[in-house]
Structure formats: C-alpha cells, structure tokens
C-alpha cells in the first residue's frame, strides 16, 4: 500500500531517495549544498576520487534521451568510486513491451544499489521508489513536467555561491514554465530557502495565471518580469513548442521573451544569468548574454557534478528505516 508519509524520507526525516524538492525541509537542502561545497575541492584535485560509494552499483536509467544530465551523473558517481552502468532505454516502458516495473525488477536482480531515473511521465520515479528493495536508492533525474531536483539544487548552489543570501533576492524564471520540471523544482527550492520574490515570466500559453498557486508572481510582460531582478533563470524552449498552438514562431518568441543585453539592463547591475542547458542561441538567449559577464552558465555545470555527488553520497548514507 502507498506510503502516506513523504516517500523520500525515512522515519527520522533523513533523505533516502531524491524524488522532488517539494516537501523537503530547508535543513535537508542546505546540508546537500554544504556537502557539495566540500566535493568541489575534490574536483580540483589531481586524483578526482573519493571512496564513498566504492563497491556500489549505480544504474543510470534514462527512458528519455539526455546526454548532458546522464554524463554529469556518471562523472559524479565515478568520482564517488561507484561502478556505473548506463542504460539508454529512451522509449516509453509500454512501447518497448517490458513494463517499467519489470525493467526495475530485472536490474534489481543484478544487485543495483542506486537508480538514477529519467522518464517522460511525471511521477515515474515515485513508482520505482515504491517497488525497490529497502536498500536501493532512487534519484529523480527528471520526470515529465514534474521535477528535476538535482538541477534545482545545482541552481541553488550557484545562486548561493554568487549571491550568498537568499532572503533578499528577486528571482525571475523566464520561458516555458508550464511544461518545465526545472521551473517547478526551482520554485519549490527558492521558496524553501526563503526567496521573497519568485517571478514566472512568459506568454500566457507558457505561463498561465494558475501558476500563481505555486507561490510565484506571474509576469506576462518581460520588462515587468526582469525589473530589478537579482537572478534571471532562462529556460530552454523545446523545439516542439515553437511552431504550434502555444507559440507562432521562435523568431516572435525571441523578440518578446529572448534575453538580450538590452532587456537584461532592466535587471540589477550585478544580476546573474542562468540556464539549465543546452541553450538555444537566438531563441531564448542571445550569444552576447550567454557568453557575457553576467552569465554563470558554465559554473552551473561545474557545480552540478559536486551537487550530484552530494546527493548520491547523502542518500546512500541513510537507511530506509
């Protein structure tokens, strides 16, 4: 039967799976960020390895294509000395003929200790977490539109690194919020860490008014959204959204909501510009901004490895009970 308590915490409130940022206390988030800080030093050493996951098998289970996220998880796991097995299933479980849970059961029989899961359906990692053996841990590497918690944590790490204090910030998230798991996880993380103003910026087809239920200020006007922002998070616009009933064209989108140096001037002079990658130059962001002095897009990638190391070592150290 389904657990009524948050399935990613054990009875001591410790993290055993990372499925979503929602519902996690601030202390859990800051502890992961602090741990990530210690791993950053490891990544600068000649021998970039610590033995925390030695002898453990981490399965990267990607039901949806992603080179970048999978690679950063792979690097993170290897730097923790784990054995990493990559599985690109890249088709939905049903289309492949084998059910998702059958796949999990088979891999569990190969003595997996951790599953890093990306799936096109919201909630799929929850289903997996409910069916794995108690010693197996699950990390959500992105599920449908629901959550991408490690991306949110690396975004929080980046913001903390450059801005120190969350409690005075205005953060603008720009783009396709309604279909974005990154935006959802970022919003929960920012709110938990005490950010007083979180703005969701974009046209009504991508940023409908009911998003306000998540505790954000909905701004359908780009200038209003960027005004005096300390942090600007640009989201990738998926190709399939560009020419349809949501948006007429990439060109028109760029004109209204693409981040240019001119629009960025509305934000605070020391604003940072973030992007979960991969970026669409000339669609959501112009090259001058992506490569400019405000951009922290590449540090995000570096921090991402340390944050994923912190997540994996944290949950592996907590037992299910």
Partner 1 sequence: MKILIHGGRVVDPASGHDGLADIAIAAERIVTIAPPGTLRDFDPERRIDATGLVVAPGLVDLAARLREPGQEHEGMLESELAAAAAGGVTSLVCPPDTDPVLDEPGLVEMLKFRARKISRCRLFPLGALTRGLRGEALTEMAELTESGCIGFAQADVPVRDTQVLYRALQYASTLGLTVWLRPHDAFLGSGVAAQGAMATRLGLSGVPVMAETVALHTLFELVRVTGARVHLCRLSSAAGVALVRAAKAEGLPVTADVSINSLHLTDVDIGYFNADMRLTPPLRQGADRAALRAGLADGTIDALVSDHNPVADDMKALPFGEAEPGATGLELLLGLALRWGQDAGLTLPQTLARVTLNPAQVLGGALQSLAASAGRIVEGGVADLCLFDPDAAWAVEPAALASQGKHTPFAFAATGMALTGRVHATLVAGTLAYQAPAATPPAA
Q: Give the number of other CB atoms < 10 A from CB of residue 12.
A: 9
Of 219, 169, 162, the closest CA to residue 189 belongs to 169
Number of chain positions touching partner 1 (CB under 8 A): 33
Of the candidate spans 118-126, 160-168, 226-234, 286-294, the one that interacts with partner 1 by CB under 8 A turns out to be 118-126
240 sits near partner 1 (criterion: CB under 8 A): no
Q: Where are the beta strands (DSSP E) in the chain?
A: 57-62, 83-88, 114-119, 137-143, 170-174, 197-201, 217-219, 231-234, 272-274
Rounded to 5, what percent of the chain is helix, strand, coil? 40, 15, 40
Q: Which is nearer to partner 1, 103 or 314 (CB)?
A: 103
Q: Give the number of other CB atoms < 10 A from CB of residue 97.
A: 8
Q: Which is nearer to partner 1, 179 or 227 (CB)?
A: 179
Residues in Cβ contact with 316 at an 8 Å cutoff, skipping those fewer than 6 apart: 52, 53, 56, 113, 114, 137
**Residue 200 has what DSSP assignment?**
E
101 sits near partner 1 (criterion: CB under 8 A): yes
243 sits near partner 1 (criterion: CB under 8 A): no
Of the candidate spans 126-134, 158-166, 190-198, 256-264, the one that interacts with partner 1 by CB under 8 A turns out to be 126-134
Of 56, 146, 199, 236, which lies in the binding site for partner 1, with binding defined by CB under 8 A?
146
Q: From the CB of 143, what's the least distance to partner 1, in Å? A: 7
**Residue 64 has what DSSP assignment?**
S
Of 191, 211, 232, 285, which lies in the binding site for partner 1, with binding defined by CB under 8 A?
211
Q: Give the number of other CB atoms < 10 A from CB of residue 179.
A: 17
Half-sphere exposure of 154 (CA within 13 A, CB side): 30
Q: Is the dihedral of CA 159, 163, 166, 170 positive or negative?
A: negative
Of 99, 106, 243, 287, which lies in the binding site for partner 1, with binding defined by CB under 8 A?
99
Of 39, 126, 253, 254, which lies in the binding site for partner 1, with binding defined by CB under 8 A?
126
Of 56, 137, 184, 241, which lies in the binding site for partner 1, with binding defined by CB under 8 A?
184
10-49 residues near partner 1, rule: CB under 8 A? 22
122 sits near partner 1 (criterion: CB under 8 A): yes
137 sits near partner 1 (criterion: CB under 8 A): no
Contact positions vs partner 1 (CB under 8 A): 1-4, 6-7, 22, 92-94, 99-101, 119, 121-124, 126-127, 131, 143-147, 178, 181, 184, 210-211, 213-214
């Amino acid at each position: 039967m389904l657990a009524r308590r948050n399935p990613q915490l054990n009875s001591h409130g410790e993290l055993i799976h990372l499925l979503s940022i929602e519902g996690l206390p601030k202390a859990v988030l800051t502890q992961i960020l602090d741990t990530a800080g210690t791993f950053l030093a490891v990544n600068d050493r000649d021998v970039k390895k610590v033995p925390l996951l030695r002898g453990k098998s981490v399965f990267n289970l990607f039901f949806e294509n992603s080179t970048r996220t999978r690679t950063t998880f792979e690097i993170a796991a290897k730097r923790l000395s784990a054995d990493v097995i990559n599985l690109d299933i890249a088709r939905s479980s049903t289309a492949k003929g084998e059910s998702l849970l059958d796949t999990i059961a088979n891999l569990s029989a190969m003595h997996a200790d951790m599953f890093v899961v990306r799936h096109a359906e919201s909630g799929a990692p929850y289903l997996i977490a409910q069916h794995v053996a108690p010693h197996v841990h699950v990390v959500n590497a992105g599920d449908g539109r629901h959550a991408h918690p490690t991306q949110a944590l690396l975004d929080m790490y980046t913001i903390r690194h450059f801005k120190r204090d969350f409690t005075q910030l205005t953060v603008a998230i720009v783009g396709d919020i309604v279909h974005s798991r990154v935006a959802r996880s970022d919003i929960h993380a920012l709110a938990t860490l005490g950010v007083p103003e979180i703005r969701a910026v974009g046209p009504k087809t991508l940023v409908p008014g009911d998003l306000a239920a998540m505790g954000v200020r909905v701004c359908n006007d780009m200038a209003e959204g960027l005004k005096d922002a300390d942090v600007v998070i640009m989201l990738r616009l998926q190709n399939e959204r560009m020419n349809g009933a949501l948006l007429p064209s990439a060109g028109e989108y760029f004109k209204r909501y693409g981040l240019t140096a001119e629009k960025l001037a509305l934000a605070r002079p020391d604003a940072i510009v973030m992007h979960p990658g991969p970026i669409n130059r000339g669609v959501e962001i112009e090259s001058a901004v992506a490569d400019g002095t405000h951009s922290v897009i590449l540090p995000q990638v570096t921090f991402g490895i340390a944050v994923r190391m912190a997540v994996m070592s944290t949950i592996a150290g907590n037992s299910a009970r």
